C-alpha cells in the first residue's frame, strides 16, 4: 500500500474513529449543501437527505473505489431560480434537473464505448494541474470573506456625506425599517477564524494519535467553543427546533422549456466532475478515470442527481471540501464517506441536530476553509512538479497563465439566450482544453536541441 495512505478505500476504521471521521466529512460539506436549497427555495432537509442517498448510490456504482461525497451543486442556482420564478415552478425546475441526471448517463455510455484515451489528449498534466490550482484558489476569496467579514445594520443615512462615510459594502437597504445592511470587516470574526485555523493546523501537525487524523473536526469544535465565548453562537434555533422533523418533498413537473434552460448546465458540471475526479486520483496516486472508470463515476453522479430531482433536492456534484479533508488526513476509506452520507440522512430527519450544525458561526467555517482550499491548490502545484512541466516552453506557460487568471479571476461567459453561464473552474477548463488543442507543440528536433543546449 502507498505509504502516504493512512487508510485505503476498503479499510474500515474502528467504531469511534469511524463516527468521528464521518462527522468530519459531514461538517465539511454541510454549509454548502444546505446553502443551495436556501438560495433556490428548495428544502434544506431534502438536500441533506438526497446528498446522503446520492453519495451511497455513487459509492455502489463506482464499486467502492472512489471516496467522493456528493452535495448540492452551485452551478444550478441561477437556472433553478430562473425556472422556478420565486418558488412557483419548483417542479418544472426539478424536471430539468432530472434530465441533467439522464444526460450524465448518456455521457457515461459514450465514455464506456470509446474509452478515456481522449481524456489524456484533452487534459494533459499542464491543463489538469492548473485547473486543480483553480479549484482551490477560486474559492480563496470566499474563505477570507467568511473568515473576516460580517453584516452590520445601520440607520439609513440622511445625507450624501453620511452615505459616503459608510464603511464596507452596501448589501441591502430596507426603507420600511429605515435600515441599511453593510458587509464590513470584523477583527473579532477574523480572530475566531484564525483561532479555528490554528487549532486545525495544530491537530494536523502537532497532535498525536487519533486527533492527528481529524484536524478539520477538531478545528470546527475548537473554533465553535472560541466563538461561543465570544458571543457569536445563538442556540435559540436549537431550542425551537423539533426532535423529529420530516422533510418536505417536491416532485418534478414535466416542462420542456425548463429542460432547455437546465440541460446546457450539464457542460459545466461535467467539467467540474472530471476536474474533481482527477484531483482525487492525484491525491490517492491512482488513475480513477481507468479504474473503476470515468463512466462509472459519471453514471454515479447522474443517478445521484436523478434521485435528488425526484424527491425535491438540488442536483449533486462531487465536493472539493471533502477532497480537501482527504488530502489532509490521507484517509480514503469509502466506509468513512458512506458514514457521512448515513449521518446526513439521519440529520435530515432530526431537527435539533440539524439546527445545531446550522449554529456554527461563519468565521469558524471560514477558518477551516482557508486550510481546505489551500490544500487543494497545493495538490495542483504538486502535480505540475511531479510531471516536470517545462515552463521554459511558452506553450505550457501560456496555457497555465490563461487558465489560472480566468479561473481565479472569476471570468464569466454569459449566454443569455439559453440562460447558460460558464464561470470559474468550468470556463477555465474549457479554455484550457481549447488552448491545448489549438496551440502548436514544439517539434521533437527543437525539444532535443533545447535539451542538448542545456
| Residue for grid cell 504538486 | 382
Each residue's pLDDT tens digit, 133-186: 887 787 788 789 889 988 888 888 887 877 777 787 877 788 877 888 888 888
Q: What is residue 209's predicted lDDT score, i.e. its pLDDT? A: 64
Q: Is 21 helix (H, G, I), strand (E, B) or coil?
A: helix
How many C-alpha atoms does 404 have within 13 Å on its Cβ side? 13
What residues pair up with 350 in beta bridges, in sequence order? 244
Q: What is residue 210's predicted lDDT score, i.e. its pLDDT? A: 64
State how far the alpha carbon of 396 is from the alpha carbons of 234, 294, 392, 438, in Å: 51, 26, 8, 13
Q: Which of 118, 123, 117 is nearest to 399 (CA)?
A: 123
Q: Is the pLDDT of residue 450 over 70?
A: no
H/E stretch holding 185 reads: strand 179-185
DSSP notation for 348-384: TTBHHHHHHHHTS-HHHHHHHHHHHHHHHHHHHHHHH
Q: What is residue 178's predicted lDDT score, i.e. its pLDDT? A: 81
Q: What is residue 145's predicted lDDT score, i.e. its pLDDT? A: 87
Of residues 256 and 231, the one with the higher pLDDT is: 231
Q: Is the pLDDT of residue 231 over 60?
A: yes
State how far the alpha carbon of 198 is from the alpha carbons of 51, 144, 194, 203, 411, in Å: 30, 15, 6, 8, 32
Q: Is the pLDDT of residue 447 over 70?
A: no
Instruction: State how far the Cα of 354 lies from the Cα of 26, in Å rounded to an integer.
Output: 11
On average, the pLDDT of the chain sits at 83
b/e string for 224-256 if b means 16 or more Cβ within 10 A? bebbeeeebbeeeebeebeeebebeebebeebe
Each residue's pLDDT tens digit, 386-438: 788 888 899 999 999 999 999 888 788 877 665 566 666 668 878 888 999 99
Q: What is residue 132's predicted lDDT score, i.e. its pLDDT? A: 76
**Highest-pLDDT range among 29-38, 42-51, 300-309:** 300-309
Cell numbers that stand for 436 in this block: 491545448
Each residue's pLDDT tens digit, 349-392: 888 877 787 788 889 888 888 887 787 788 788 878 878 888 88
Cell numbers that stand for 325 in this block: 479533508
Q: Is the pLDDT of residue 239 over 80?
A: yes
Q: Is the pLDDT of residue 339 over 90?
A: yes
Q: Is the pLDDT of residue 444 over 50?
A: no
Instruction: State how far the Cα of 87 lies from the Cα of 91, in Å rounded to an integer.
Output: 9
Each residue's pLDDT tens digit, 248-284: 788 888 888 778 777 767 766 777 788 788 888 888 8
In the chain, count H helices and then E strands.
Answer: 21, 7
DSSP state of 85: T
Each residue's pLDDT tens digit, 192-206: 999 999 998 888 788
| Residue for grid cell 472512489 | 66
Q: Who's near 330: CB < 8 A, 6+ residues apart?
A: 4, 5, 6, 7, 213
Q: What is the mean pLDDT of residues 35-47?
A: 78
Cβ atoms of 241 and 395 within 8 Å: the answer is: no
pLDDT band at 227 (very low <50, low <70, confident <90, very high): very high
Q: What is the mean pLDDT of residues 63-89?
A: 79
State how far the alpha carbon of 306 is from the alpha carbons of 80, 315, 350, in Å: 15, 8, 24
Each residue's pLDDT tens digit, 92-138: 889 989 999 999 999 899 889 887 777 667 778 888 788 878 877 87
Amino acid at each position: 500500500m502507498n505509504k502516504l495512505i493512512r487508510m485505503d478505500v476498503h479499510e474500515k476504521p474502528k467504531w469511534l474513529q469511524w463516527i468521528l471521521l464521518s462527522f468530519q466529512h459531514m461538517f465539511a460539506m454541510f454549509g454548502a449543501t444546505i446553502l443551495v436549497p436556501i438560495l433556490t427555495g428548495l428544502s434544506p432537509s431534502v438536500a441533506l437527505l438526497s446528498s446522503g442517498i446520492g453519495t451511497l448510490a455513487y459509492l455502489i456504482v463506482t464499486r467502492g473505489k472512489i471516496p467522493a461525497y456528493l452535495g448540492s451543486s452551485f452551478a444550478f442556482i441561477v437556472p433553478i431560480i430562473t425556472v422556478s420564478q420565486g418558488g412557483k415552478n419548483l417542479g418544472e425546475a426539478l424536471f430539468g434537473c432530472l434530465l441533467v441526471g439522464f444526460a450524465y448517463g448518456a455521457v457515461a455510455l459514450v465514455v464506456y464505448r470509446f474509452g478515456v484515451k481522449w481524456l489524456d489528449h484533452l487534459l494533459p498534466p499542464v491543463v489538469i494541474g492548473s485547473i486543480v490550482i483553480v479549484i482551490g484558489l477560486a474559492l480563496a476569496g470566499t474563505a477570507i470573506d467568511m473568515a473576516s467579514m460580517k453584516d452590520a445594520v445601520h440607520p439609513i443615512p440622511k445625507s450624501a456625506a453620511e452615505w459616503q462615510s459608510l464603511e464596507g459594502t452596501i448589501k441591502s437597504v430596507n426603507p420600511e425599517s429605515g435600515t441599511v445592511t453593510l458587509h464590513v470587516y470584523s477583527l473579532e470574526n477574523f480572530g475566531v477564524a484564525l483561532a479555528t485555523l490554528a487549532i486545525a493546523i495544530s491537530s494536523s501537525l502537532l497532535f498525536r494519535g487519533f486527533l492527528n487524523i481529524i484536524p478539520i473536526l477538531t478545528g470546527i469544535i475548537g473554533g465553535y467553543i472560541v466563538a461561543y465565548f465570544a458571543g457569536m453562537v445563538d442556540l435559540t434555533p436549537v431550542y425551537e427546533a423539533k426532535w423529529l422533523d420530516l422533510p418536505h418533498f417536491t416532485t418534478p413537473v414535466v416542462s420542456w422549456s425548463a429542460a432547455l434552460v437546465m440541460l446546457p448546465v450539464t457542460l459545466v458540471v461535467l467539467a467540474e466532475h472530471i476536474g474533481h475526479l482527477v484531483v482525487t486520483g492525484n491525491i490517492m496516486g491512482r488513475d480513477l478515470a481507468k479504474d473503476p472508470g470515468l463512466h462509472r463515476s459519471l453514471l454515479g453522479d447522474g443517478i445521484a442527481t436523478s434521485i435528488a430531482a425526484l424527491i425535491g433536492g438540488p442536483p449533486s456534484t462531487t465536493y472539493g471540501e471533502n477532497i480537501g479533508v482527504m488530502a489532509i488526513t490521507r484517509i480514503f476509506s469509502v466506509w468513512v464517506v458512506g458514514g457521512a452520507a448515513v449521518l446526513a440522512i439521519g440529520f435530515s430527519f432530526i431537527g435539533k441536530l440539524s439546527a445545531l450544525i446550522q449554529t456554527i458561526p461563519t468565521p469558524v467555517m471560514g477558518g477551516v476553509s482557508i486550510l481546505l482550499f489551500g490544500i487543494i491548490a497545493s495538490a495542483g502545484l504538486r502535480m505540475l512538479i511531479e510531471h516536470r512541466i517545462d515552463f521554459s516552453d511558452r506553450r505550457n506557460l501560456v496555457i497555465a497563465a490563461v487558465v489560472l487568471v480566468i479561473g481565479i479571476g472569476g471570468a464569466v461567459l454569459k449566454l443569455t439566450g439559453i440562460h447558460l453561464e460558464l464561470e470559474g473552474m468550468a470556463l477555465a477548463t474549457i479554455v484550457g482544453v481549447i488552448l491545448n488543442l489549438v496551440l502548436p507543440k514544439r517539434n521533437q528536433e527543437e525539444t532535443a536541441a533545447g535539451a542538448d543546449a542545456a
